[in-house]
Amino acid sequence: MSTLTATFTAPPWLDGARTSASFEYGRRQVCWQLELPDPETKTLHRCRYMALFVTVSERVAMKGEPLWLRVQRRETDLSPWKSLTEAASKAASAELLPAVARYGFGRLWDEVHRQSRGYSMPDASTHVAELEAEAAWWRRRGEVQADYLAGMFDVVPVKPANGGSRLPGVSIPYHPHERPRWEHVVADLVLDGEVVGHLTDHAHVVPAS
């Protein structure tokens, strides 16, 4: 029968902290990050702080034990990070590590990792949407290029706006997954009165956005 507790309760000094789960040198770690509103400060076992970064990690990769605690603190917004005193570190360990062990370190890591996935890993569905949009743009570009070569468009020169000297620009990628580059539009490609593409100063044909 499992002896793990049903719920995890962190010490009160971690109230309001943000949690994350990650790996360090192949070992899992759960982190709590806490920042107090400036200029508020508190003390943790006689150590003053306005920000805490608390890490509980496993000493043996993927085993979940033994556990190790590391606490970093800042006394002001501009001060460097430093450790707790030895006595404070022992006291903090006695408060947090048994609670983690009773709940189950692996179980806690799994839950925090799932809850914080937007922070710790890219959203695959977002990448799918971006790639689909990029593929649609390249398909449209191929269609516009084919129609341009077939002579289907009226090529209308573009003049600088408001009597200036700078031509409008368009940001286009040269290759898939490549950062777009900026080119000036020298002519619009018009079909039945609608601008469906552009001709750039690099002789590129691109679809209208």
**CA 197 – CA 190 distance, rounded (Å):** 7
Q: pLDDT tens, position by position, for the chain (209 residues)?
A: 356 788 999 999 999 999 999 999 999 999 999 999 878 899 999 999 999 999 999 999 999 889 999 999 999 888 899 999 999 999 999 999 999 999 999 999 999 988 875 454 566 777 788 888 888 999 999 999 999 999 999 999 998 876 666 788 888 777 766 777 888 899 999 999 999 999 998 889 999 98
Residues 23 and 86 reside in one and the same domain: yes
Last residue of a domain, one of 89, 120, 151: 120
pLDDT of residue 1: 38
- How far is residue 8 from each of residues 47, 55, 97, 107, measured CA to CA in Å? 25, 16, 11, 10
Q: Which of 120, 137, 164 is the last residue in one of the domains?
A: 120
- C-alpha closest to that of 99 among 62, 60, 54, 61: 54
Domain shared by 20 and 69, yes or no: yes
Query: How many domains, in total, are found in the chain?
Result: 2
Q: What is the structure's pLDDT at 104?
A: 95
- pLDDT on residue 3: 67
| CA–CA distance, 125 with 50 (Å, rounded to integer) | 37
- Tell me the residue range of the domain where 52 lies: 12-120
Phi, psi values for residue 179, rounded to 5°: -60, 130
pTM score, whole prediction: 0.59
**Identity (one letter) of the amino acid at 144?**
V
Q: From residue 109, how far is each of 2, 12, 22, 74, 121 by CA, in Å?
A: 18, 20, 8, 25, 15
* CB neighbours of residue 207 within 10 Å: 21
